[in-house]
Amino acid sequence: MPASAPASDSLRWVGVAMLVAALFLLGQYDNPVFAALTAGWHALFTALGLETLAQRLQSGVSGQVTTRSLPAMLSYGLLYSGCCLLLLALVLRTAARMRMVILLYAAVFGACVLLLLGGKLAGDVTWSYRLGRRLIEFIVSPLPVVMLVPLLWRYQPPTHS
């Protein structure tokens, strides 16, 4: 084992600890984070002269999906999910495992989009919104990380001989 391996391993675990702390803080202080994101998006849309467009988009979003600012909600979800994916990449360490993680995340995000768009196109279908919202709450939480680490820790892709 090269001399740099223990140092890189230590650095990796420091990164893991920092991401766990970031996820904890994002979860604990989600209201101030949402307030900052909402203010930031509002300032950006105002500066670009797109405030009325943003208001029209927001008015088209069902209260069953979110009562928060749509851009803020999407930003928070991407930030939180991005931290989770980085954490999983540091812990799981192989491309094959990360492919599985990305496929699973993409499948859940795809299901969310289908449920929310389907609910909207079908005339505000409550069950579709509720299920889509629950999937969003699942994927934008530490639960996928807690489930995927033990499930994929020893995963080895099949070898083709």
Q: From the CB of residue 88, how many other CB atoms can be counted at a distance below 10 Å?
A: 24
Q: Is residue 122 in a domain?
A: yes
First vs last C-alpha separation in the chain: 28
Q: What's residue 4's pLDDT?
A: 60
Q: What's residue 8's pLDDT?
A: 82
Question: Which helix (H) or strand (E) is 32 found in, with range?
Answer: helix 30-47
Q: What's residue 161's pLDDT?
A: 61
Q: Is residue 159 in a domain?
A: no
Report yes or no: 111 and 136 within 8 Å, Cβ to Cβ.
no
Q: Is residue 48 in a domain?
A: yes
Q: What's residue 6's pLDDT?
A: 75
Cα–Cα distance measured from residue 37 to residue 72, given in angstroms and rounded to the nearest whole number = 5
Report yes or no: 87 and 147 within 8 Å, Cβ to Cβ.
no
For the chain (161 residues), the mean pLDDT of every run of 10, in chain order, is 69 94 94 96 94 86 83 94 96 92 96 93 91 93 92 79 61
Report yes or no: 40 and 118 within 8 Å, Cβ to Cβ.
no
Could you tell me the residue range of the domain that residue 38 belongs to?
Answer: 4-152
Cα–Cα distance measured from residue 144 to residue 146, given in angstroms and rounded to the nearest whole number = 5
Q: Is residue 157 in a domain?
A: no
Q: What's residue 48's pLDDT?
A: 94
Q: Is residue 33 in a domain?
A: yes
Cα–Cα distance measured from residue 139 to residue 136, given in angstroms and rounded to the nearest whole number = 5
Q: Is residue 160 in a domain?
A: no
For the chain, how many structural domains are there in total?
1
What backbone torsions phi and psi does residue 17 show, to the nearest 5 degrees?
Answer: -60, -40
Q: Is residue 21 in a domain?
A: yes
pTM above 0.75, yes or no: yes
